[in-house]
Amino acid sequence: MPAEIEDAWFFSEDALKLHALRAVPCGEKTRVPVIGLPGISRTAEDFRTLLSALAKNPDGARPAFALDSRGRGLSERDKNPANYSVPVELGDLVAFLRAAKIQRAIFVGTSRGGILAMALASIMPQAIAGCVLNDVGPVLDMQGLLRIKGYVGKMPKPRSWREAIASLKKIMAAHFPGFNGQDWENYARRTWDERFEPRSDPALAAAFEGISAATPPPALWPQFEALAAAAPLLVLRGEHSDLLSHETVAEMQRRDPRMQFAEISGQGHAPALEREEVIRPILEFAARCDPAD
């Protein structure tokens, strides 16, 4: 019976009510589940198409989940913006694994989500059966990071979907020349709700405090190496990414020769998880992460 996507709820250690999407095929007990971790101001909705593809894959359906980190999507917003940090969000991820009784999973981390996956490898490597890093690595290029800092939590409220799309294009059109009109509308509807309220807390801008061209975030090579030692890796890079450079990818491959890599044409940071050219390599990679029969 095909799996439907449904809401799931759990609580953080500090009692915030948090949300996830789940799609669990009936009778599937052996295939390793997949957990989607969105970007810093993104939500589980970015993973809806991928969850459906994973849970309904005729070549091997598997349970699939995607998290709304605190302050994103349907998860409760934090009254203390300082808690929009990797250590706190890592604790929320661990709380989800416990609540869902998931001991081992394949993680698909977009941008901030990939950083969470690397951080998880440092404390719970046994929980990682495989990982897809979607346009993120141990070194974040400052050009892209400062561009993201410039709009997270700061985008004006649109008055129509046309205005919403125009706002997104102003920031991102050069990075997504492969997007068509429907792609832009889909992205807009995952960014704002029907009342044109942002789907993520504007206070997430606090996560960028202290980051500047003179004070970049530290490189995460130890965390990457812990992830590479824990499980197989697939790295996706948008052709026009300004956050993940070819130089960083080359160094990642040097440190982990087993790492698989795919570049997604016509997209930048971060490739949307809706198209066949993005979904297909993830499905194939997940199959390779299952234990041998």
Instruction: In whole angstroms, give the CA distance from residue 72 to residue 38.
Output: 9
Q: In what order do the strands lie in the sheet with 17-23?
A: 6-11, 17-23, 64-68, 34-37, 105-110, 128-134, 233-238, 260-264
196 burial via Cβ count (<10 Å: 0-12, 13-18, 19+): middle
Tell me, yes or no, whether 118 lies in a domain.
yes
Q: Is the pLDDT of residue 270 over 60?
A: yes
Provide the strand spans (E) within 220-288.
233-238, 260-264
Instruction: In whole angstroms, give the CA distance from residue 105 to residue 127.
Output: 6
pLDDT of residue 26: 74
Tell me, yes or no, whether 223 lies in a domain.
yes
Tell me, yes or no, whether 22 lies in a domain.
yes
**235 CB-side CA count, 13 A:** 27
Give the SS3 label for residue 269: coil
Residue 164 has a CB neighbour count (10 Å cut-off) of 22
Tell me, yes or no, whether 150 lies in a domain.
no
- When pLDDT is cut at 50, 70 and 90, the band that residue 291 belongs to is confident
Tell me, yes or no, whether 272 lies in a domain.
yes
Tell me, yes or no, whether 159 lies in a domain.
no
Q: What is the mean pLDDT of residues 192-210?
A: 96
- When pLDDT is cut at 50, 70 and 90, the band that residue 1 belongs to is very low
Work out the mean pLDDT of the chain and round it to a whole number: 95
**Tell me: the pLDDT tens digits for 60-117?**
899 999 999 999 999 999 999 999 999 999 999 999 999 999 999 999 999 999 999 9
pLDDT of residue 292: 76
pLDDT of residue 29: 60
**Tell me: the pLDDT tens digits for 217-237?**
999 999 999 999 999 999 999
Strand-pair partners of 261:
235
CATH number at residue 62: 3.40.50.1820
Tell me, yes or no, whether 111 lies in a domain.
yes
pLDDT of residue 27: 67
What single DSSP character describes residue 87? Answer: H
Tell me, yes or no, whether 205 lies in a domain.
no
Domain that holds residue 27: 6-141+218-289
Task: Give the chain's end-to-end CA distance (angstroms, integer).
Answer: 23
The total number of structural domains that make up the chain:
1
Q: Is the pLDDT of residue 262 over 60?
A: yes
